[in-house]
């Protein structure tokens, strides 16, 4: 437990330099965590045979997608445990624990022998690694969203909190960049044999660097004031006092997370498996669109500081409901590189209305003593149900000959979230962060 003097010092107003340094350190750690998480999706086309040698490409991808979904099952547990830890011991402490867990998961995947060498133990170890990573990411989101929102000033909270998705997408981009580089220096047989292990080793090493950076982060003033002045009670009991806020997190996340995972992690496989494009072309298109998508986040986040969060969420809900089916239908029959790029870019511009501000909106719903748990647990539950199963359901719809059914499923989820956006208050003007 920190001393009263330390807490009092931590509760002093942060200088601009301290805020920027802490936001940078937290963001870099977030980048590394999401790189480790997305390397699995980026390289699954190559390592699927190592763990699941039987069946055609769709069957192998279904197996790897199922384990991707299994990782999501741990995210609510991570959101629960790490949320409680962050609300009790500090945002900084929780963020350090999460990056250690991610490092362990990446290392296990990197060194696990193939199915041919150790049989069923190979996919079992793969599941174990994804469970560790799911626990890590589940805790990372709520704590990171809380940390960035609390560390930013009121006038720039939307802008700075948007860097959660800047770093999230950056991690995904770096994973794709590593894939593109390896595609240039290794042939397909080498990638499928041993080359896919390289990015997981890189991730484990980078996680060590992220841990070092996070040691130098400042704790937020909101948390240090809370620790110094208020007694602790049951976290779940406290959370249950905010049922409307919890359900708001679930509702506003549902459509956004499904759309995000559809147009990011699944899209690379969709272009290969449904549109018939080459693996290298699908990778380049994904990288190009994600780069521009990343640049949009602070622009839209900054806009929310001026016009409010709610108008931007409503814009996402309306356009996502109207254009999801046309975009995915057109992508299925796309013939050119630029055609696919344009369609995906339009989709990601729409999705930016959710991704850029969802972190700050959730953080602004809860008071300090329950903020990390309030953001992390309902978000992780929703992402597990909708985001974690996105690839699997998309591939399942294709396997039974009803691929367009998935398009309507995404549309329905966004429409449900739109109802929440229309009925909720604008958190910029009703923020619980500003009450402290």
Q: What angle do CA 125, 214, 98 make, to 5 degrees?
A: 30
The whole domain housing 120 covers 13-222+236-435
Give the residue among 283, 291, 286, 295 at the shortest CA–CA distance from 263: 286
As a whole number, the mean pLDDT across the chain is 84
pLDDT tens across 126-150, in order?
Answer: 888 888 888 888 888 888 888 888 8
Q: Residue 380 sits in a domain of what CATH number?
A: 1.20.1250.20
Q: Tell me what pLDDT residue 59 has.
A: 61
In this structure, is residue 377 part of a structural domain? yes
In this structure, is residue 1 part of a structural domain? no
Could you say which residues of the chain have pLDDT below 70? 1-15, 53-62, 65, 68-69, 226-233, 434-436
- Domain count for the chain, please give it: 1
In this structure, is residue 78 part of a structural domain? yes
Distances (CA, A) of 282 to 88, 131, 154, 196, 264: 44, 28, 40, 17, 11
In this structure, is residue 231 part of a structural domain? no
d(Cα 257, Cα 410) in Å, to the nearest integer? 10
In this structure, is residue 5 part of a structural domain? no
d(Cα 92, Cα 144) in Å, to the nearest integer? 9
In this structure, is residue 89 part of a structural domain? yes
d(Cα 227, Cα 231) in Å, to the nearest integer? 8
Q: What angle do CA 204, 209, 213 make, to 5 degrees?
A: 140
d(Cα 399, Cα 396) in Å, to the nearest integer? 5
Separation of first and last alpha carbons in the chain: 22
Strand, helix or coil for residue 276: coil
In this structure, is residue 246 part of a structural domain? yes
pLDDT tens across 165-217, in order?
Answer: 888 888 888 888 888 899 889 888 888 888 889 999 998 888 888 888 888 78
Per the CB < 8 A criterion, the answer to whether 262 and 390 are in contact is: yes
Q: Tell me what pLDDT residue 230 has.
A: 62
């Amino acid at each position: 437990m920190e001393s009263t003097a330390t807490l009092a010092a931590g509760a002093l107003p942060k200088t601009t330099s301290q805020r920027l340094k802490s936001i940078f350190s937290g963001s870099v750690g977030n980048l590394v965590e999401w790189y480790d998480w997305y390397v699995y999706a980026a390289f699954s086309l190559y390592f699927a045979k190592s763990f699941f040698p039987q069946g055609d490409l769709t069957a192998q991808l279904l197996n790897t997608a199922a384990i991707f979904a299994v990782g999501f099952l741990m995210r609510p547990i991570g959101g629960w445990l790490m949320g409680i830890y962050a609300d009790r011991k500090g945002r900084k402490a929780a963020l350090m624990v999460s990056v250690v867990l991610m490092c362990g998961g990446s290392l296990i995947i990197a060194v696990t022998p193939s199915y041919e060498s150790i049989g069923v133990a190979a996919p079992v170890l793969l599941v174990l690694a994804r469970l560790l990573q799911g626990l890590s990411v589940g805790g990372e989101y709520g704590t990171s969203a809380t940390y960035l929102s609390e560390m930013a000033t009121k006038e720039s909270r939307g802008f700075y909190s948007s860097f959660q998705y800047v770093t999230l997408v950056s991690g995904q981009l770096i994973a794709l960049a590593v894939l593109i580089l390896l595609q240039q220096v290794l042939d397909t047989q080498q990638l499928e044999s041993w080359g896919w292990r390289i990015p997981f080793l890189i991730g484990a090493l980078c996680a060590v660097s992220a841990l070092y950076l996070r040691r130098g982060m400042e704790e937020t003033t909101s948390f240090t004031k809370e620790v110094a002045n208020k007694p602790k009670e049951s976290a779940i009991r406290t959370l249950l006092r905010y049922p409307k806020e919890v359900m708001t997190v679930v509702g506003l996340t549902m459509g956004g997370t499904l759309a995000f995972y559809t147009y990011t992690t699944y899209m690379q496989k969709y272009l290969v498996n449904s549109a018939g494009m080459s693996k290298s072309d699908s990778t380049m298109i994904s990288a190009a669109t994600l780069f521009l998508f990343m640049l949009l986040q602070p622009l839209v986040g900054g806009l929310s500081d001026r016009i409010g969060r709610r108008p931007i969420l409503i814009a996402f809900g309306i356009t996502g409901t109207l254009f999801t089916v046309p975009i995915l239908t057109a992508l299925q029959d796309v013939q050119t590189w630029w055609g696919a790029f344009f369609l995906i870019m339009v989709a990601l511009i729409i999705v930016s209305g959710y991704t850029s501000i969802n972190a700050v909106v959730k953080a602004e719903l809860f008071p300090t003593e329950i903020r990390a748990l309030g953001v992390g647990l309902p978000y992780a539950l929703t992402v597990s149900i909708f985001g974690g199963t996105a690839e699997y359901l998309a591939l399942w719809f294709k396997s039974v000959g009803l691929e367009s059914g998935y398009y309507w499923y995404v549309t329905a989820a966004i429409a449900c979230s739109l109802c929440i956006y229309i009925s909720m208050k604008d958190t910029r003007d009703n923020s619980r962060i500003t009450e402290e």
